[in-house]
Amino acid sequence: MPSLSCSSRVIAEVTGRPLAFRVITEEQLRAALTKAGLPSRAVDVVVSIQASFAAGAFDIVTGDVERLGGRPPRPLRDVLAGALKVPPT
């Protein structure tokens, strides 16, 4: 499974627009969400989900995309190129 930094590079390449992926600490995320005015409970939920992502809790391959969609998953580059009508590289 590609990393988010790898995915952000692909998005930037396909769109031709710069896109930065930045890793921030839990404290930075909590502070930014609080400053944005989210209720404390919402901040707690978002921070918890992000911590789960960082710990690899969602790094799984199940076959569900193929089962539900009726076809194998496609690479991100191909999906974006198709959505933007750009020939894949």
In which domain, by residue range, is 24 found? 4-84
Instruction: State the pLDDT at residue 69.
Output: 94
Whether residue 87 contacts residue 81, with contact meaning beta carbons closer than 8 Å, is answered with yes
pLDDT in tens, 59-75: 888 999 999 999 999 99
Residue 18 covered by a domain: yes
Residue 80 covered by a domain: yes
Instruction: State the pLDDT at residue 70.
Output: 96
Residue 14 covered by a domain: yes
Between 89 and 15, the higher pLDDT residue = 15
Instruction: State the pLDDT at residue 89.
Output: 60
Residue appearing with tokens 């911590």: 51
Q: Which of 1, 12, 4 is nearest to 80 (CA)?
A: 12
pLDDT exceeds 80 at position 2 = no
Query: How confident is residue 85, by pLDDT bands cut at 50, 70 and 90?
Result: confident
Domain count of the fold of the chain = 1
Q: CA-CA distance, 64 to 43, in Å (whole number)?
A: 30
Q: CA-CA distance, 6 to 1, in Å (whole number)?
A: 10
Whether residue 18 contacts residue 12, with contact meaning beta carbons closer than 8 Å, is answered with yes
